[in-house]
Amino acid sequence: MKARRIKAIAKKELIQVRRDPRSLMIALLMPLMQMTLLGYGVSLDIKHIPVCTFDREASERSEALLKRFQASIYFSIVEAVGSYGALKDALDYGRCKIGVVIPPHFSERLVDLGTIPVQIILDATDDNTANIGLGYAQDVVEGFSSDIQALTSQRQGAIPQNAPAVVQSRVWFNEDLNSRNFVIPGVVAMVLALVGAQLTSLTISREWERGTMEVLISTPVTPTELMVGKILPYFAIGLLDAAFCLALAVFWFEAPFRGALATLFFTTSLFLVVVLGVGYLISVTVRSQLGASQLALLVTLLPTNLLSGFTFPIDQMPWPVQAITYLVHSRYYVTILKAVFLKGAGLIELAEPISLLALYAAVVAFLAARAFRKTLD
C-alpha cells in the first residue's frame, strides 16, 4: 500500500462528505438526537405507578395503609373510587394500573383476628410492570402489617420478636439502581454502529450512482488502498462521535465513568473497524445508495437493539437465541462499555470480549479488502 494513494482517496471522500448534506446530518446530528432521545426516553425504572383505591371502610387505620402507598416513590394514588364498577372502568380506560381494595370491617378484623386480606387488582397488559408493581405492593402491605403487630405486642406488654434473619444489602457498580446508568453505555454502541455503517454503506454505491466508478477503476489504486482510503475519514469521524457521546454521557446525563479513556478508545477503535468494514461490504455489494442505506440499517440497528444485551439480558434469552448473539459484534462492545463505565474494568478483566472483538475486526477487514473488484461487471 502507498500512503500517497490512500491520502488522495481519503481527501476525495472528505470532500464528498462535506458536499453531501445527508452524510453530514448522519455524522453530526444523529449522535446528538439518539443520545438525547434514548437517554431521556428509555427508562427501565418503574416508579409512580398510578393507583386507584376503593376503601370500603374509610377508617383511620385504612387511611394509614393508603398513605403508605402514597408515600412510596413507586406508587401514585390518582383516584379514589366508590364501587367495583368504577374501579373496573378506571382500569379499563387506563387511568390506573393497580387497584387497592380495603375490605369492610378492616380495623375490627385486624384487631380481633390479627389478619385481614387486602385485595390488589392489577392491569397485566404489561406483565413486567404488573409483576414489579405486585412486589412493591406486597412490600407496602407487609411493612404496614409488621408495624401493626409490633404496636399490638407493645400494648399487650409482650416483647417484640426480632426477625431471625435480616438482609443487609449492598449494591455495587450502580449504587442508585438507576436504569439510565445501564442504558447510556448501550446507547453509545448503538450510535457508533448506526452512524458508522450508514456512512460507509454509501461510499462505493455513491461512485456507481454518480458515474465516477469508471474513473476510479482506471487509476492504479489497489482494492486494499481503496478500502483504507474510503474508511479512514469515517474512522476519524467515528472517534469524534465517540468522544462527543462520552462527554454527553458523563457531563449531561451524569453517568458514572470509572474506567480508563485509553481502554475505551482502544476498544472503540476495534468496534469502528467492524462497523465500518460491514458498511463497506454492503456498499460494494449493493450499488444503490438507498438500498445500501436500508440494508445497513437492518444489519446494525436491530441486532444492536435486540441481541447485544443493550435492551434485554442475554442470559434470559432461549439458548438458540443466545447462540445467535455470538455473531452480533455489538454484543462484545456493549459488554465492554458497561464494564468500563460502571465497573472501571481494564484490559485484563476484558480480555475475552476484547479478543473476540479483535477477531471479528480482523475477519471483517479481510473480507472487506477482498470484496472490491476493479471491473465494471
| Integer Cα distance of 356 and 315 in angstroms | 18
Residue 22 has pLDDT above 90, yes or no: no
Query: Is residue 363 pLDDT above 90, yes or no?
Result: yes
Name residues whose C-beta falls within 8 Å of residue 234's C-beta, 6 or more positions apart in sequence. Answer: 13, 196, 199, 200, 276, 279
CA 165, chain centre distance (Å): 36
Least confident span in 16-30, 140-154, 156-170, 242-256: 156-170
| Closest C-alpha to 329, from 189, 216, 226 | 189
Q: What global pTM score does this model have?
A: 0.80
Higher per-residue confidence, 374 vs 219? 219
Extract the C-alpha cell encoding 254.
451524569
Range of the domain at 139: 49-155
Same domain, yes or no, for 36 and 183? yes
Please say if the pLDDT value at position 352 is more than 90: yes
- Structurally, the chain folds into a number of domains equal to 2
Beta-ladder partners of 77: 51
Q: What integer pLDDT is reported at residue 47 of this predicted model?
A: 85
Per the domain annotation, does 88 fall within a domain?
Answer: yes
pLDDT in tens, 248-297: 888 988 888 998 999 999 999 999 999 999 988 988 888 788 888 888 88
pLDDT on residue 7: 85
Convert the pLDDT of each residue in 193-211 to its tens digit. Answer: 888 888 888 788 877 777 7
In a domain, 169, yes or no: no
Q: In whole numbers, what is the pLDDT of the chain averaged over residues?
A: 84
Q: Which of 99-103, 131-135, 174-178 has the lowest mean pLDDT?
A: 174-178
Let me know if residue 267 belongs to a domain: yes
Q: Specify if 104 maps to a domain.
A: yes
**Residue 165 predicted with pLDDT over 80:** no
* Residue owning grid cell 481527501: 11
Q: Tell whether 255 and 337 lie within a shared domain.
A: yes
**Cell numbers given for 248:** 454527553
Closest CA to 191 of 351, 54, 26: 26
What is 136-176 written as a DSSP string? HHHHHHHHHHHHHHHHHHHHTTPPPPPPS--------S-TT
Q: How many C-beta atoms surround the C-beta of residue 266 within 10 A?
A: 16
Asked if residue 190 and residue 308 are part of one domain, the reply reads yes
Residue 160 in any domain: the answer is no
